Chains A and B, each alone.
Chain A
Protein backbone atom coordinates (compact mmCIF):
# COMPACT_ATOMS: atom_id res chain seq x y z
CA UNK A 1 0.00 0.00 0.00
CA UNK A 2 1.52 3.30 -1.05
CA UNK A 3 1.92 6.01 1.56
CA UNK A 4 -1.20 8.08 2.00
CA UNK A 5 -1.27 11.52 0.42
CA UNK A 6 -3.27 12.96 3.31
CA UNK A 7 -0.69 11.82 5.84
CA UNK A 8 1.99 13.37 3.66
CA UNK A 9 0.16 16.68 3.42
CA UNK A 10 -0.39 16.91 7.14
CA UNK A 11 3.23 16.08 7.91
CA UNK A 12 4.35 18.83 5.56
CA UNK A 13 1.84 21.28 6.99
CA UNK A 14 3.27 20.70 10.44
CA UNK A 15 6.86 21.15 9.40
CA UNK A 16 6.44 24.04 6.94
CA UNK A 17 6.56 26.95 9.43
CA UNK A 18 10.17 26.02 10.33
CA UNK A 19 11.30 25.63 6.75
CA UNK A 20 12.09 27.96 3.86
CA UNK A 21 10.36 25.59 1.45
CA UNK A 22 9.28 22.02 0.85
CA UNK A 23 9.76 20.31 -2.51
CA UNK A 24 7.06 17.86 -3.54
CA UNK A 25 5.13 17.00 -6.72
CA UNK A 26 2.05 18.57 -8.29
CA UNK A 27 0.00 18.10 -11.44
CA UNK A 28 1.55 19.52 -14.59
CA UNK A 29 0.89 19.68 -18.32
CA UNK A 30 1.76 16.00 -18.77
CA UNK A 31 -1.03 13.79 -17.39
CA UNK A 32 1.50 10.97 -16.98
CA UNK A 33 4.25 12.85 -15.21
CA UNK A 34 3.86 15.06 -12.17
CA UNK A 35 6.03 18.13 -11.93
CA UNK A 36 8.07 19.57 -9.02
CA UNK A 37 6.26 21.87 -6.63
CA UNK A 38 8.13 24.35 -4.44
CA UNK A 39 5.93 24.93 -1.40
CA UNK A 40 6.47 28.15 0.49
CA UNK A 41 2.93 28.81 1.77
CA UNK A 42 0.36 26.56 3.36
CA UNK A 43 -2.00 27.14 0.44
CA UNK A 44 0.48 25.39 -1.87
CA UNK A 45 0.08 22.13 0.07
CA UNK A 46 -3.29 21.45 -1.50
CA UNK A 47 -1.63 21.09 -4.90
CA UNK A 48 0.51 18.14 -3.79
CA UNK A 49 0.08 14.93 -5.74
CA UNK A 50 1.38 11.53 -4.68
CA UNK A 51 0.83 8.59 -7.00
CA UNK A 52 2.84 6.49 -9.47
CA UNK A 53 3.21 9.52 -11.71
CA UNK A 54 5.63 11.12 -9.24
CA UNK A 55 8.56 9.74 -11.19
CA UNK A 56 10.98 12.64 -10.95
CA UNK A 57 13.75 12.45 -8.36
CA UNK A 58 13.63 15.75 -6.47
CA UNK A 59 16.94 15.26 -4.63
CA UNK A 60 18.85 16.95 -7.44
CA UNK A 61 17.56 20.37 -6.38
CA UNK A 62 19.14 20.19 -2.94
CA UNK A 63 22.79 21.10 -3.62
CA UNK A 64 21.65 24.30 -5.33
CA UNK A 65 19.57 25.24 -2.26
CA UNK A 66 22.36 24.75 0.24
CA UNK A 67 22.12 27.16 3.13
CA UNK A 68 18.32 27.14 3.13
CA UNK A 69 16.12 24.98 5.33
CA UNK A 70 14.50 22.69 2.79
CA UNK A 71 11.96 19.92 3.18
CA UNK A 72 11.91 17.24 0.51
CA UNK A 73 9.63 14.34 -0.34
CA UNK A 74 11.45 11.20 -1.43
CA UNK A 75 10.67 7.69 -2.60
CA UNK A 76 13.06 4.81 -1.89
CA UNK A 77 15.30 5.46 -4.88
CA UNK A 78 15.26 9.24 -4.35
CA UNK A 79 16.36 8.75 -0.75
CA UNK A 80 19.40 6.81 -1.93
CA UNK A 81 20.47 9.82 -4.03
CA UNK A 82 20.00 11.92 -0.92
CA UNK A 83 22.23 9.57 1.09
CA UNK A 84 24.87 9.86 -1.60
CA UNK A 85 24.72 13.66 -1.42
CA UNK A 86 25.14 13.39 2.37
CA UNK A 87 28.12 11.05 1.96
CA UNK A 88 29.83 13.55 -0.29
CA UNK A 89 28.91 16.45 1.98
CA UNK A 90 27.13 18.24 -0.84
CA UNK A 91 24.19 18.94 1.47
CA UNK A 92 23.95 19.48 5.23
CA UNK A 93 21.84 16.96 7.10
CA UNK A 94 20.62 19.50 9.65
CA UNK A 95 19.21 21.74 6.91
CA UNK A 96 17.20 19.01 5.20
CA UNK A 97 13.89 17.67 6.48
CA UNK A 98 13.15 14.40 4.74
CA UNK A 99 9.62 13.12 4.24
CA UNK A 100 10.07 9.47 3.26
CA UNK A 101 7.49 7.47 1.36
CA UNK A 102 6.77 3.87 0.47
CA UNK A 103 6.58 3.74 -3.31
CA UNK A 104 4.64 1.18 -5.36
CA UNK A 105 6.35 2.02 -8.64
CA UNK A 106 6.97 5.02 -10.92
CA UNK A 107 5.38 5.33 -14.33
CA UNK A 108 7.52 5.70 -17.43
CA UNK A 109 5.60 8.41 -19.29
CA UNK A 110 7.00 7.35 -22.67
CA UNK A 111 6.02 3.68 -22.53
CA UNK A 112 2.76 4.34 -20.70
CA UNK A 113 1.74 6.87 -23.33
CA UNK A 114 2.25 4.28 -26.06
CA UNK A 115 0.44 1.60 -24.09
CA UNK A 116 -2.57 3.80 -23.36
CA UNK A 117 -2.91 5.58 -26.67
CA UNK A 118 -4.96 8.64 -25.84
CA UNK A 119 -4.40 10.35 -22.51
CA UNK A 120 -7.52 12.48 -22.68
CA UNK A 121 -9.55 12.12 -19.52
CA UNK A 122 -6.81 10.45 -17.47
CA UNK A 123 -7.87 10.99 -13.88
CA UNK A 124 -5.76 8.76 -11.69
CA UNK A 125 -3.17 6.02 -11.64
CA UNK A 126 -2.67 3.39 -8.96
CA UNK A 127 -0.62 0.25 -8.57
CA UNK A 128 -1.82 -2.89 -6.87
CA UNK A 129 0.04 -6.17 -6.95
CA UNK A 130 1.46 -6.74 -10.40
CA UNK A 131 -0.64 -4.33 -12.42
CA UNK A 132 -1.18 -0.61 -12.89
CA UNK A 133 -4.69 0.83 -13.16
CA UNK A 134 -5.27 3.94 -15.23
CA UNK A 135 -8.63 5.59 -14.70
CA UNK A 136 -9.62 7.22 -17.99
CA UNK A 137 -12.94 9.10 -18.07
CA UNK A 138 -14.34 6.90 -15.34
CA UNK A 139 -13.22 3.63 -16.92
CA UNK A 140 -10.32 1.67 -15.55
CA UNK A 141 -7.60 0.32 -17.83
CA UNK A 142 -5.32 -2.25 -16.25
CA UNK A 143 -1.88 -2.88 -17.66
CA UNK A 144 1.00 -5.14 -16.53
CA UNK A 145 3.73 -3.26 -14.71
CA UNK A 146 6.46 -4.33 -17.13
CA UNK A 147 4.85 -2.24 -19.85
CA UNK A 148 4.37 1.01 -17.95
CA UNK A 149 6.94 1.35 -15.17
CA UNK A 150 10.38 2.88 -15.35
CA UNK A 151 13.01 0.25 -16.03
CA UNK A 152 14.70 1.04 -12.76
CA UNK A 153 11.58 -0.15 -10.91
CA UNK A 154 12.03 -3.68 -12.28
CA UNK A 155 15.17 -4.06 -10.16
CA UNK A 156 14.13 -1.91 -7.22
CA UNK A 157 16.34 -2.56 -4.20
CA UNK A 158 14.08 -0.81 -1.74
CA UNK A 159 10.82 1.07 -2.18
CA UNK A 160 11.06 2.76 1.20
CA UNK A 161 13.06 5.87 2.00
CA UNK A 162 15.47 4.47 4.60
CA UNK A 163 17.00 7.70 5.84
CA UNK A 164 14.30 10.22 6.70
CA UNK A 165 12.82 12.42 9.40
CA UNK A 166 9.19 11.52 8.87
CA UNK A 167 8.21 8.20 7.32
CA UNK A 168 4.70 8.38 5.91
CA UNK A 169 2.59 5.23 6.10
CA UNK A 170 3.83 1.68 6.30
CA UNK A 171 6.95 0.05 5.01
CA UNK A 172 6.49 -2.41 2.18
CA UNK A 173 8.05 -4.41 -0.59
CA UNK A 174 9.27 -3.21 -3.99
CA UNK A 175 6.80 -3.56 -6.90
CA UNK A 176 6.34 -7.14 -8.13
CA UNK A 177 7.07 -7.00 -11.83
CA UNK A 178 6.74 -10.13 -13.93
CA UNK A 179 7.90 -10.81 -17.48
CA UNK A 180 10.62 -8.24 -17.25
CA UNK A 181 12.04 -7.50 -20.72
CA UNK A 182 15.77 -7.98 -21.30
CA UNK A 183 17.84 -5.01 -20.20
CA UNK A 184 20.10 -3.21 -22.65
CA UNK A 185 23.06 -4.58 -20.71
CA UNK A 186 21.80 -8.12 -21.29
CA UNK A 187 21.26 -7.38 -24.99
CA UNK A 188 24.79 -6.05 -25.26
CA UNK A 189 26.24 -9.12 -23.58
CA UNK A 190 24.87 -11.20 -26.44
CA UNK A 191 26.66 -9.04 -29.02
CA UNK A 192 30.24 -9.11 -30.29
CA UNK A 193 32.53 -6.21 -29.43
CA UNK A 194 32.18 -4.67 -32.85
CA UNK A 195 28.39 -5.01 -32.72
CA UNK A 196 28.39 -3.24 -29.37
CA UNK A 197 30.40 -0.35 -30.76
CA UNK A 198 28.00 0.00 -33.66
CA UNK A 199 25.03 -0.28 -31.30
CA UNK A 200 26.26 2.77 -29.40
CA UNK A 201 27.15 4.55 -32.62
CA UNK A 202 23.56 4.09 -33.74
CA UNK A 203 22.10 5.17 -30.40
CA UNK A 204 24.38 8.19 -30.09
CA UNK A 205 23.58 9.34 -33.61
CA UNK A 206 20.21 10.34 -32.15
CA UNK A 207 21.73 12.14 -29.17
CA UNK A 208 21.19 15.89 -29.49
CA UNK A 209 23.72 16.78 -26.77
CA UNK A 210 21.16 18.65 -24.74
CA UNK A 211 22.87 17.40 -21.56
CA UNK A 212 19.48 16.77 -19.98
CA UNK A 213 21.02 13.57 -18.59
CA UNK A 214 23.65 15.60 -16.85
CA UNK A 215 21.25 18.30 -15.68
CA UNK A 216 18.84 15.75 -14.25
CA UNK A 217 21.52 13.70 -12.45
CA UNK A 218 21.34 14.52 -8.73
CA UNK A 219 25.08 13.87 -8.41
CA UNK A 220 26.22 16.07 -11.24
CA UNK A 221 27.12 19.17 -9.32
CA UNK A 222 29.71 20.49 -11.75
CA UNK A 223 26.86 21.36 -14.16
CA UNK A 224 27.89 24.75 -15.54
CA UNK A 225 31.57 23.82 -15.42
CA UNK A 226 31.40 20.33 -16.84
CA UNK A 227 34.59 18.81 -18.23
CA UNK A 228 32.72 17.82 -21.38
CA UNK A 229 32.24 21.44 -22.36
CA UNK A 230 35.78 22.62 -21.79
CA UNK A 231 38.03 23.50 -24.70
CA UNK A 232 41.09 23.23 -22.51
CA UNK A 233 41.46 20.24 -22.13
CA UNK A 234 39.64 19.35 -25.30
CA UNK A 235 37.90 16.20 -24.08
CA UNK A 236 35.08 16.27 -26.58
CA UNK A 237 34.92 18.09 -29.89
CA UNK A 238 32.07 20.17 -31.15
CA UNK A 239 31.18 18.00 -34.15
CA UNK A 240 28.09 15.82 -34.24
CA UNK A 241 30.05 12.57 -34.44
CA UNK A 242 28.45 9.77 -32.34
CA UNK A 243 31.92 9.06 -30.99
CA UNK A 244 31.98 12.43 -29.22
CA UNK A 245 28.59 11.77 -27.70
CA UNK A 246 29.66 8.30 -26.60
CA UNK A 247 32.73 9.91 -25.07
CA UNK A 248 30.44 12.18 -23.09
CA UNK A 249 28.51 9.19 -21.81
CA UNK A 250 31.81 7.59 -20.77
CA UNK A 251 32.71 10.80 -18.94
CA UNK A 252 29.36 10.84 -17.17
CA UNK A 253 29.57 7.17 -16.23
CA UNK A 254 33.13 7.38 -14.92
CA UNK A 255 32.51 10.60 -13.02
CA UNK A 256 29.54 8.99 -11.25
CA UNK A 257 31.25 5.61 -10.72
CA UNK A 258 30.73 4.48 -7.16
CA UNK A 259 28.29 7.34 -6.66
CA UNK A 260 25.41 6.51 -8.99
CA UNK A 261 22.37 5.05 -7.21
CA UNK A 262 20.56 4.17 -10.44
CA UNK A 263 17.77 6.62 -9.74
CA UNK A 264 17.09 6.55 -13.49
CA UNK A 265 16.78 10.31 -13.97
CA UNK A 266 19.31 10.32 -16.81
CA UNK A 267 17.22 7.95 -18.89
CA UNK A 268 13.92 9.56 -17.88
CA UNK A 269 15.17 13.00 -18.84
CA UNK A 270 16.65 12.02 -22.20
CA UNK A 271 14.31 13.43 -24.85
CA UNK A 272 15.56 10.83 -27.33
CA UNK A 273 14.89 7.84 -25.07
CA UNK A 274 18.48 6.58 -25.17
CA UNK A 275 19.42 3.67 -22.84
CA UNK A 276 22.15 5.63 -21.12
CA UNK A 277 21.81 4.17 -17.68
CA UNK A 278 23.37 1.01 -19.11
CA UNK A 279 26.93 2.27 -18.71
CA UNK A 280 26.32 3.24 -15.11
CA UNK A 281 24.67 -0.09 -14.34
CA UNK A 282 27.72 -1.93 -15.66
CA UNK A 283 30.02 0.14 -13.46
CA UNK A 284 27.81 -0.36 -10.43
CA UNK A 285 27.93 -4.13 -10.88
CA UNK A 286 31.70 -4.00 -11.11
CA UNK A 287 31.97 -1.80 -8.02
CA UNK A 288 29.73 -4.20 -6.12
CA UNK A 289 32.11 -7.04 -7.03
CA UNK A 290 35.33 -5.17 -6.47
CA UNK A 291 34.56 -3.26 -3.30
CA UNK A 292 31.42 -4.88 -1.79
CA UNK A 293 29.92 -1.44 -2.03
CA UNK A 294 26.54 -0.11 -3.00
CA UNK A 295 26.04 3.62 -3.37
CA UNK A 296 23.38 5.42 -1.37
CA UNK A 297 22.98 3.03 1.54
CA UNK A 298 24.99 4.50 4.40
CA UNK A 299 25.58 8.24 4.85
CA UNK A 300 28.75 7.53 6.82
CA UNK A 301 30.48 5.55 4.10
CA UNK A 302 32.68 7.07 1.44
CA UNK A 303 32.45 6.28 -2.27
CA UNK A 304 35.10 3.62 -3.05
CA UNK A 305 36.98 5.71 -5.60
CA UNK A 306 37.60 8.39 -2.95
CA UNK A 307 39.86 5.97 -1.05
CA UNK A 308 41.98 2.84 -1.39
CA UNK A 309 43.32 -0.18 0.46
CA UNK A 310 46.86 -1.46 0.39
CA UNK A 311 45.51 -4.97 -0.05
CA UNK A 312 42.52 -5.17 -2.38
CA UNK A 313 40.92 -8.48 -1.62
CA UNK A 314 38.66 -8.55 -4.66
CA UNK A 315 41.08 -7.30 -7.27
CA UNK A 316 42.67 -10.19 -9.13
CA UNK A 317 45.58 -8.75 -11.03
CA UNK A 318 46.81 -10.29 -14.23
CA UNK A 319 49.84 -12.60 -14.15
CA UNK A 320 52.39 -11.60 -16.78
Chain B
Protein backbone atom coordinates (compact mmCIF):
# COMPACT_ATOMS: atom_id res chain seq x y z
CA UNK B 1 0.00 0.00 0.00
CA UNK B 2 2.79 2.34 0.99
CA UNK B 3 4.64 1.42 -2.18
CA UNK B 4 1.64 2.67 -4.20
CA UNK B 5 1.37 6.02 -2.42
CA UNK B 6 4.04 7.91 -4.40
CA UNK B 7 3.04 6.61 -7.88
CA UNK B 8 -0.60 7.37 -7.01
CA UNK B 9 0.31 10.92 -5.95
CA UNK B 10 2.31 11.44 -9.15
CA UNK B 11 -0.60 10.10 -11.21
CA UNK B 12 -3.05 12.43 -9.47
CA UNK B 13 -0.78 15.41 -10.11
CA UNK B 14 -0.34 14.42 -13.77
CA UNK B 15 -4.12 14.09 -14.24
CA UNK B 16 -4.63 17.47 -12.54
CA UNK B 17 -2.06 19.07 -14.83
CA UNK B 18 -3.64 17.58 -17.96
CA UNK B 19 -7.06 18.71 -16.70
CA UNK B 20 -5.73 22.22 -16.21
CA UNK B 21 -4.31 22.27 -19.73
CA UNK B 22 -7.60 21.05 -21.24
CA UNK B 23 -9.50 23.68 -19.24
CA UNK B 24 -7.09 26.36 -20.48
CA UNK B 25 -7.46 25.31 -24.11
CA UNK B 26 -11.26 25.30 -23.81
CA UNK B 27 -11.21 28.73 -22.18
CA UNK B 28 -9.10 30.28 -24.90
CA UNK B 29 -10.85 28.59 -27.82
CA UNK B 30 -13.04 30.95 -29.83
CA UNK B 31 -16.64 30.28 -28.88
CA UNK B 32 -18.71 30.61 -32.03
CA UNK B 33 -21.97 29.45 -30.53
CA UNK B 34 -23.56 32.93 -30.67
CA UNK B 35 -22.45 33.57 -34.25
CA UNK B 36 -23.60 30.08 -35.29
CA UNK B 37 -26.99 30.62 -33.63
CA UNK B 38 -27.45 33.92 -35.51
CA UNK B 39 -26.34 32.35 -38.78
CA UNK B 40 -28.84 29.52 -38.23
CA UNK B 41 -31.61 32.11 -37.72
CA UNK B 42 -32.26 31.06 -34.13
CA UNK B 43 -32.47 34.67 -32.86
CA UNK B 44 -30.65 34.29 -29.53
CA UNK B 45 -31.51 36.64 -26.68
CA UNK B 46 -29.34 39.76 -26.67
CA UNK B 47 -26.77 40.05 -23.90
CA UNK B 48 -26.77 43.24 -21.93
CA UNK B 49 -24.70 45.15 -19.40
CA UNK B 50 -24.81 48.53 -17.71
CA UNK B 51 -22.04 50.57 -19.32
CA UNK B 52 -20.88 54.16 -18.72
CA UNK B 53 -21.76 56.67 -21.40
CA UNK B 54 -18.98 58.38 -23.32
CA UNK B 55 -20.52 61.73 -22.51
CA UNK B 56 -22.90 62.11 -19.67
CA UNK B 57 -23.21 60.68 -16.20
CA UNK B 58 -24.34 57.25 -15.21
CA UNK B 59 -24.68 54.05 -17.12
CA UNK B 60 -27.03 52.80 -19.78
CA UNK B 61 -28.03 49.35 -20.96
CA UNK B 62 -28.94 48.19 -24.45
CA UNK B 63 -32.41 47.45 -23.07
CA UNK B 64 -32.83 51.20 -22.47
CA UNK B 65 -32.91 51.70 -26.25
CA UNK B 66 -35.37 48.88 -26.91
CA UNK B 67 -38.59 49.60 -28.70
CA UNK B 68 -37.21 49.57 -32.21
CA UNK B 69 -34.11 48.14 -33.80
CA UNK B 70 -30.87 48.49 -31.85
CA UNK B 71 -27.77 48.22 -33.99
CA UNK B 72 -24.89 47.53 -31.62
CA UNK B 73 -21.50 48.36 -33.07
CA UNK B 74 -18.32 47.37 -31.19
CA UNK B 75 -15.52 49.69 -32.30
CA UNK B 76 -12.35 51.53 -31.28
CA UNK B 77 -10.74 54.70 -32.56
CA UNK B 78 -7.49 52.90 -33.40
CA UNK B 79 -9.29 50.31 -35.54
CA UNK B 80 -8.88 51.15 -39.22
CA UNK B 81 -11.87 49.16 -40.52
CA UNK B 82 -13.97 51.04 -37.94
CA UNK B 83 -13.02 54.25 -39.75
CA UNK B 84 -14.26 52.72 -43.01
CA UNK B 85 -17.66 51.76 -41.66
CA UNK B 86 -18.29 54.87 -39.53
CA UNK B 87 -19.92 56.84 -42.40
CA UNK B 88 -22.20 53.86 -43.08
CA UNK B 89 -23.26 53.77 -39.44
CA UNK B 90 -23.81 57.53 -39.45
CA UNK B 91 -26.07 57.10 -42.50
CA UNK B 92 -27.90 54.20 -40.89
CA UNK B 93 -28.54 56.30 -37.78
CA UNK B 94 -30.02 59.06 -39.94
CA UNK B 95 -32.29 56.52 -41.58
CA UNK B 96 -33.34 54.99 -38.26
CA UNK B 97 -34.11 58.44 -36.87
CA UNK B 98 -36.01 59.48 -39.99
CA UNK B 99 -38.21 56.41 -39.74
CA UNK B 100 -38.30 56.48 -35.93
CA UNK B 101 -37.37 52.81 -36.11
CA UNK B 102 -34.54 52.54 -33.59
CA UNK B 103 -30.96 53.58 -33.07
CA UNK B 104 -27.36 52.63 -33.51
CA UNK B 105 -25.45 52.20 -30.22
CA UNK B 106 -21.68 52.41 -30.41
CA UNK B 107 -19.73 50.40 -27.84
CA UNK B 108 -16.14 51.57 -27.57
CA UNK B 109 -13.82 48.72 -26.60
CA UNK B 110 -10.18 49.02 -25.50
CA UNK B 111 -10.21 52.70 -26.29
CA UNK B 112 -9.30 55.80 -24.31
CA UNK B 113 -12.25 58.16 -23.89
CA UNK B 114 -10.50 61.17 -25.49
CA UNK B 115 -9.55 59.09 -28.53
CA UNK B 116 -13.14 57.85 -28.80
CA UNK B 117 -14.44 61.44 -28.58
CA UNK B 118 -12.13 62.53 -31.40
CA UNK B 119 -13.30 59.58 -33.51
CA UNK B 120 -16.95 60.44 -32.88
CA UNK B 121 -16.35 64.11 -33.77
CA UNK B 122 -14.33 63.25 -36.87
CA UNK B 123 -17.14 61.10 -38.25
CA UNK B 124 -20.03 63.19 -36.97
CA UNK B 125 -21.59 60.21 -35.21
CA UNK B 126 -24.89 61.23 -33.66
CA UNK B 127 -25.83 58.04 -31.84
CA UNK B 128 -25.25 57.02 -28.20
CA UNK B 129 -21.77 55.76 -27.38
CA UNK B 130 -21.11 53.50 -24.39
CA UNK B 131 -17.69 52.60 -22.98
CA UNK B 132 -17.02 48.90 -22.37
CA UNK B 133 -14.01 49.47 -20.12
CA UNK B 134 -13.95 45.96 -18.65
CA UNK B 135 -15.01 44.25 -21.88
CA UNK B 136 -18.11 43.04 -20.10
CA UNK B 137 -20.42 43.35 -23.10
CA UNK B 138 -17.72 42.50 -25.67
CA UNK B 139 -16.98 39.25 -23.84
CA UNK B 140 -20.68 38.42 -23.61
CA UNK B 141 -20.91 38.79 -27.40
CA UNK B 142 -17.63 36.84 -27.82
CA UNK B 143 -16.05 39.78 -29.62
CA UNK B 144 -12.58 38.69 -30.65
CA UNK B 145 -11.80 41.45 -33.14
CA UNK B 146 -13.09 44.87 -34.09
CA UNK B 147 -15.40 45.94 -35.53
CA UNK B 148 -18.39 43.70 -34.85
CA UNK B 149 -22.02 44.63 -35.33
CA UNK B 150 -25.26 43.06 -34.08
CA UNK B 151 -28.85 43.95 -34.83
CA UNK B 152 -31.33 43.48 -31.99
CA UNK B 153 -35.04 43.53 -32.68
CA UNK B 154 -37.76 45.10 -30.55
CA UNK B 155 -38.11 41.88 -28.55
CA UNK B 156 -34.48 41.90 -27.49
CA UNK B 157 -33.43 39.12 -29.89
CA UNK B 158 -30.32 39.22 -32.06
CA UNK B 159 -31.47 38.97 -35.65
CA UNK B 160 -28.28 39.73 -37.55
CA UNK B 161 -24.58 39.98 -36.87
CA UNK B 162 -21.42 40.82 -38.71
CA UNK B 163 -17.88 39.97 -37.65
CA UNK B 164 -15.64 42.54 -39.29
CA UNK B 165 -16.44 45.67 -41.22
CA UNK B 166 -19.99 46.26 -42.45
CA UNK B 167 -20.71 47.54 -45.93
CA UNK B 168 -23.66 49.44 -47.33
CA UNK B 169 -24.61 46.22 -49.11
CA UNK B 170 -24.73 44.39 -45.77
CA UNK B 171 -26.87 47.15 -44.27
CA UNK B 172 -29.25 47.05 -47.23
CA UNK B 173 -29.49 43.26 -47.15
CA UNK B 174 -29.65 42.63 -43.40
CA UNK B 175 -31.03 45.80 -41.83
CA UNK B 176 -33.11 47.08 -44.77
CA UNK B 177 -35.87 44.43 -44.52
CA UNK B 178 -36.00 44.86 -40.73
CA UNK B 179 -36.35 48.60 -41.19
CA UNK B 180 -39.14 48.07 -43.70
CA UNK B 181 -40.89 45.68 -41.35
CA UNK B 182 -40.49 48.04 -38.39
CA UNK B 183 -41.82 50.97 -40.40
CA UNK B 184 -44.74 48.94 -41.75
CA UNK B 185 -45.55 47.72 -38.23
CA UNK B 186 -45.62 51.26 -36.94
CA UNK B 187 -48.16 52.37 -39.57
- Are A and B part of the same complex? no
